[in-house]
Structures are given as C-alpha cells and as structure tokens.
Chains A and B, each alone.
Chain A
C-alpha cells in the first residue's frame, strides 16, 4: 500500500534526518512509528503526504510514485491528524469536519450526512455540537473531531502524528480504545507516530522502531517484545514490560519435544507397528527436511489397511491449526479449547516441526509450576 524505498533526507545545513529508510505499510493495518524525539519518525510520516520531500529515494502509494502527483491533490486523499489537534478556531465543528469534502466539492447534503454520521461514530451528538466552536469543547472531544475530520472524505490512508500525545492519560486511553474499535470497521491504512510504547503496543499491527534516522527494528508488537534486536530496543520497551511478557510461558517451553513422526513414503503396516510400540493413536508426518506434512490416525490406517499400494502420504490429513514457538501459552490453550483439538504442532517459520503441545504436556508443565501437596506446599 505505502512503500518507502531507499529514502534519505538531508537538510540544507547538512543534517541527515533520515538514512536509507525502507518501509512498507500494509493495507488495512496500523503501522506505528516510534522512537525518541529527533529519530525521524515524524519526518518519515510527512514524506507520505509530501509535507517533506526526500533528498533521495522514492515513496509509493499503491505502486504510484507520489513525487509525480500534485501535492495538494495528494493531501486531499490522505487523512491527517496532528498532535496539537489543529482545529480551525474560526470554524464551527461541522465546518471543520467538512473541510476536505468542501475542498473536493462534495454536494452539501452528502457532506451534511457524512458529518452527522462521523460525529455519532465518536459519540458526539450532532445536534448539540455541530454549531459549536472548537474552544467550547474539551481536549478529548476536540481530538475526536480532529480524527473524524481526517476521515471525512473517506481517504484510504490516514496519517496520525502523535495524535493523542497532548491529551490527559484518561482521554488518551479512551481515544486509543476508540481507534482500535473504529479500525475494525473502517480498515484504513494508518500510519501512527508516537513516543509512547504503551500506545504502540495497544494499537499497532506493526511497530517500526527508529533511532537517529534509521529503522532499528520492525515487527509485530509480539515479535518486538519477544525478540528485542538490541539494548536500545530493550531499554525503549522498558524492563517492566519485558519481564511481564517473559512471565507467560511460550509454546516452545510447554511442548513435547520429540513427537512420534513418520514419512510420507512409509507403508501402513510399518505405521501400525510404530503406533503399537510407542503407544499412540496417531503419527505426525514430516518430509526429509522435517517439514510438517500432516498426520495419520489409527482409524485411517485401519480403514485403508487392505490396500497394499497405499502409503502414508496417500492418506495423511493436514493440520487445521499450527503455532509458532513464540506463541503464548494463553493463545495455545485458547486454540486447543475453542477448536476441540487433541494437540497442536509447533513449527518454525520454515514449517519445520519443533514439537507438539498436547493436553498431557500442558498438565505436565502446570504440575511443575504448581507442585502437588506431596511436595509440601499447603498442608492443613
């Protein structure tokens, strides 16, 4: 959707604000740019609506090089929310929201309908607030208007520059919640700049951590928390949050490491023998590279047993669910519970089998954490 390619920004005084930035923001996702002040996060965002021009490199929206688009036209198609709200003080709330529709010459009725719809969306009664002026609203209300003003002409892309930073903590959290809720329905491509890690973790689909004009690390909040790339990232995330996440065990910690496996080329009789020997009712099928293929159950094997030409590969079934080694135990148990699974295979990015999480391995893990009465925890 949005792509920055080898972008560099150098100011006339020689200061290099951005060094070779490569970034992609996926459609319908919230990409959060985060970092200490002066790291270039706002600069990066402003490249997208051409408020800042790159010295080198290209910016694409939907595959189109934006340096070839008229900046004024471009900006009308990109929603923009700024930190200090920036509502026009001499215009009513309705007029503020109608700014871009009016610039695009929408019909008055359509604009009016849109204003009412948007105001209701953020819980401000149109009849009460339409004709008020920005300064007659609280900070939180003003920024709600700031957000819907950016959405008014239904732009596919919205840029939010520290949109909630100037608000008090309570309003800020409310607006974050509202944004997450809103995004479920509107599915816009949002680029959000902030310096609050909590905010990023709460709203981001993807976090891009920047420092001194460079991207230090990017990934889902989960990835960043679990695998901070270096000490800077760690310190930026904060000791407390790292400990918090490390308290919840992962699939890799809970899984049974050596499940009974077989290969697609093996015969059925051989498989039954193996099940018998290992006392299991199904086998996990992997290829020569240990990549997960599926599973066979004892029932399938018996059903096809007469047919000597059949091999494991012919009757295997694929798994509907797998998890990565970093999946939190809470996620894994929910998955097992919701889908009534006997077990879930754990695979890495290359689909290689690492182990399986079974109900049995869960119980084993829990009994390690919560020792039974015998080991003398609670005795009356």
Chain B
C-alpha cells in the first residue's frame, strides 16, 4: 500500500512531465476540433444543401466509430509516428460531438427570434454575432466539455504511436509489471479529466450567466 503512495513522490518528475504532455496532446486536439467543427456546424445549420449536411455528419460519425487503436495504426503509414499523428487522431474524434452540438445549438433557436432580429434591422453578421451565437453557446460549451473528457481518456492510447503522455507510463508499467506506476498514471489521467471538466463547467456557467441562456440539453 505504501508503494502506491510513495510512487507519487519517487517518480514526481516523470509523472509531471507526462501530465503536461498529456494535457498538450488533448487540448491541442480539442482546440483544433473547435476551430474546424464550430464554424462547420454554424455553416451546416445555415446551408440549404441537404447532402452536404448528411455527408458531414456521416463522415464525422465514421471517425467516431473507428476503434481508437485501429485509427492510430492507420495513421502511421500516412503521417508517421509521434505527437502530430496522435493529435490528428484525437482531433478526428473530437469533431463529432462539437459539430453536433453546435448544429443543434443553432437549430434550437426559435425562428421567430431570428425573424424579429432580421425585421428590426440586424444585418446577417450582426444577427449571427449578437443573437445566434450567444443563444447557442450553452450547447457548444456542452459539446466541448464532453469531447474534452473523452479525449483526455483516449489520449492514453497515443503512446502506442510514440506520442508520450500518461499512456506511456502505463504501458511502461505494464511491461515491467510495476503496479504502483500503472495505478499512479491511471489516477492522474482520471484526476486530470475531472479537473478539466470542472474548469470547463465553471466557464460554461459564467458564459451562460453572462448571456443569460440555459440549456436543457444534457448528453
């Protein structure tokens, strides 16, 4: 039992580095996901081209269904090993929840409100920035939160293509049957996910409070 606690003190440096790497991997993937999926979601909610919408959702759904191990393996011949392919893989996973939530956030806005905005003389850009985005924010934030927690957990697999992070310590621990190390890495991955989730929930609340919108949606 003592070993399980001592490990934190003994391997403090390794653990901390792994945590930082892990965090960078996950956040980079989510950030990229946001940059791509949010504008795409907005666009899809506006466009009248049906097949484009179906196509986008299908593709992101497919990414979601590929087993993570397989996806990482597929990426090796395409973009090699290391941090970049890991981020790419995680980024692909992050797309679907953010895209879906952004899309439903915009869909959830009462069309009357948009007509009122138009009728009162908001330009299309002003309608988007001042009316639609604030109203969709709770949905978008929920999507980001959900994705981030998943991605942090999945990032442990990134070590398989040499991207480091807490997964590396777990795999290393498995190789030499170092149970305390496996335990410590797993706990840290969990705690990391919980902390990030908590921070995002605080952010979400503060935004909701400022825009005075609430979402009834929980995924």
Contacts and interface: CB of A to CB of B under 8 A. Distances in A.
Interface of A: 49, 51, 72-77, 80, 82-91, 99-100, 103, 133, 149-150, 159
B212 interface: yes
Q: Is the interface on chain B under 10, 10 to 19, 20 to 34, or 35 or more residues?
A: 10 to 19
19 contacts: A49-B119, A51-B119, A72-B121, A72-B122, A76-B121, A80-B120, A86-B110, A86-B115, A89-B212, A90-B211, A90-B213, A91-B212, A100-B121, A103-B120, A103-B121, A103-B126, A133-B212, A149-B120, A150-B120
Interface of B: 110, 112-113, 115-123, 126, 131, 134-135, 211-213
Contacts, number: 60
Contacts of B131: 88
Nearest to B210: A90
Nearest to A152: B120
A154 B194 CA distance: 53
Contacts of B211: 90
B213 A82 contact: no
Nearest to A85: B112
Q: Which 7 A-B pairs have the closest CB atoms?
A: A86-B116, A76-B121, A80-B119, A75-B121, A84-B112, A86-B112, A90-B211
A86 B113 contact: yes
Contact of B113 (A73, A77, A89): A89
A75 B120 contact: yes
Given A88-B131, A89-B212, A89-B213, A83 B118 contact: no
B186 to A, nearest CB: 41
A88 B117 contact: yes
Contacts of B122: 72, 99, 103
Given A82-B112, A86-B115, A90-B212, A76 B134 contact: no
Nearest to A74: B121
A99 B120 contact: yes
Contact of A51 (B110, B115, B135, B213): B115
Of A82, A84, A90, A159, chain B has the most CB atoms within 10 Å of the CB of: A90
Contacts of A75: 118-121
A75 B123 CA distance: 10
B106 to A, nearest CB: 14
Contacts of B115: 51, 82, 86
A149 to B, nearest CB: 8
Given A75-B120, A82-B116, 11 more contacts: A80-B119, A82-B112, A84-B112, A86-B112, A86-B116, A89-B113, A90-B135, A99-B120, A99-B122, A103-B121, A149-B120
Contacts of A87: 116
Nearest to B117: A88
Nearest to A75: B121
A166 to B, nearest CB: 10
A83 B126 CA distance: 23
Contacts of B112: 82-86
Contacts of B110: 84, 86
A103 B123 CA distance: 10
B13 to A, nearest CB: 47
A80 B213 CA distance: 24
Contacts of B117: 86, 88
Nearest to B124: A72
Given A51-B115, A86-B112, A89-B213, A73 B135 contact: no
A84 to B, nearest CB: 4
Contacts of B119: 49, 51, 75, 80, 82, 159
A100 B121 CA distance: 7
Most A CB atoms within 10 A — which of B110, B115, B119, B121?
B121
Given A82-B112, A84-B110, A84-B112, A90 B120 contact: no
A51 B135 CA distance: 23
Contacts of B126: 103
A89 B116 contact: no
Nearest to B123: A72
Nearest to B133: A90
Contacts of A99: 120, 122
A360 to B, nearest CB: 58
